[in-house]
Amino acid sequence: MRNVPSVLSIAGTDPTGGAGIHADLKTFQERKAYGMAVVTSVVAQNTKGVQDVWHVPVDMVEQQIRAVFEDIRPGAVKTGMIATPEMIERVADLLEQENDVPLVIDPVMVATSGDSLMEQESLDLMKKRLLPLSAVITPNRQEAEVLTGLSIENIETAEDAAKTLVDEMGASAAVVKGGHLTGDATDVLYSEDGIEYLHAPRTDTNHTHGTGCSLSASIAAELARKNSIKTAVSNSKAFISKAIMDTLEIGKGNGPINHWASRLSKEDIMV
Ligand SMILES: Nc1ncnc2c1ncn2[C@@H]1O[C@H](COP(=O)(O)OP(=O)(O)OP(=O)(O)O)[C@@H](O)[C@H]1O
Ligand SMILES: Cc1ncc(CO)c(N)n1
């Protein structure tokens, strides 16, 4: 029997289509997985910043998750923006019961624009309840600092943070992303296979809105396709690097990445 891999994103929205569940669904489609999405928060945002946020009531988030699982069991789940302590607890309660489904956690705290997307009181629950359920957690520099309490200045300290997330805090694997470090855009993966550096040249662009969402969504799609963590992360790094390099001229601020880049040239896309 051959199955179509399916993936579920549990995350917030971006009406301009560059981040959140919109980026996740575009990524799932490009990474050959059937995409599904549960909305946690509706966010009025664009490439310039966040204007307002409305959290979906927690019972409704639960109903959405139950609706998906009782019908189409995902091959992997990714979580993005889960802003409030109550929402983290409820999502953790539900995902704990589905622990055979690999979980990718993107611990979203701030948007590329610098606006906050997670309440301060959520941090402890994120660490205690959600992080230990993860097959892999994908913090950026600042998120890894907040989660581990370590200061990350370079690739060596990023490696320390990845080890802390796994060896001391209970994640199965961690990717500490280097988008906000200087030099090459090198990410650090720490898993049961040890440390691996994922190298890519840094593209000189401010079109990085939704890079983190898309990277974690791609990893989830790869895991749903039954790839190992190592393969999932390195394929996803290649995908995201191309999408950042071959950027689209869209938006007045930190524009989105080009989800088509691995498949279509700009000539195919532009009118
Ligand atoms: N300018 C760049 N050139 C090449 N790769 C980049 C660049 N900026 C980020 N990346 C890569 O994009 C991925 C996401 O990293 P980043 O640290 O930007 O995540 P993030 O801050 O969570 O993203 P977001 O902007 O969605 O919040 C990583 O693989 C990182 O190395
Ligand atoms: C909904 C949402 N999730 C994550 C990010 C981070 O890029 C964002 N800007 N918006």
Provide the residue ranges of all domains of the chain, joining segments of one domain with +: 6-261
Interface ipTM above 0.95: yes
Which residue of 16, 117, 177, 242 sits with most ligand 1 atoms within 8 Å of its CB, as the best mutation to test the pocket? 177
This prediction's pTM: 0.98
Topology of domain 6-261 in CATH is UDP-N-acetylmuramoyl-L-alanine:D-glutamate ligase (3.40.1190)
For residue 26, how far is its CA from the centre of ligand 2 (angstroms)? Answer: 14
Atom of ligand 1 nearest to the CA of 208: 25
Question: Is 20 designated active site?
Answer: no
Of the residues 127, 163, 177, 237, only one is catalytic, namely: 177
- List residues bridging with 240 in a β-sheet: none
Q: Within 10 Å of residue 263's Cβ, how many Cβ atoms?
A: 9
Question: Is 186 designated active site?
Answer: no
Please give the radius of gyration of the chain, using alpha carbons only, rounded to the nearest integer: 17
d(CA 89, CA 97): 13
Q: Are strands 194-198 and 34-39 parallel, antiparallel or unpaired?
A: unpaired
Among 269, 254, 261, CA closest to 18: 254
Residue nearest to atom 24 of ligand 1 (CA): 212
User: Could you list the pLDDT tens digit for every one of the 271 residues in the chain?
Assistant: 788 999 999 999 999 999 999 999 999 999 999 999 999 999 999 999 999 999 999 999 999 999 999 999 999 999 999 999 999 999 999 999 999 999 999 999 988 888 889 988 999 999 999 999 999 999 999 999 999 999 999 999 999 999 999 999 999 999 999 999 999 999 999 999 999 999 999 999 999 999 999 999 999 999 999 999 999 999 999 999 999 999 889 999 999 999 999 999 989 998 8
pLDDT of residue 136: 98
d(CA 74, CA 68): 8
d(CA 6, CA 72): 8
Query: pLDDT tens across 219-255, in order?
Result: 999 999 999 999 999 999 999 999 999 988 999 999 9
**Does 178 contact ligand 1 (Cβ within 6 A)?**
yes
Query: What is 62-102 written as a DSSP string?
Result: HHHHHHHHTTS--SEEEE----SHHHHHHHHHHHHTTTTS-
Question: Is 12 designated active site?
Answer: no
Q: Within 10 Å of residue 117's Cβ, how many Cβ atoms?
A: 20
Q: Within 10 Å of residue 170's Cβ, how many Cβ atoms?
A: 14
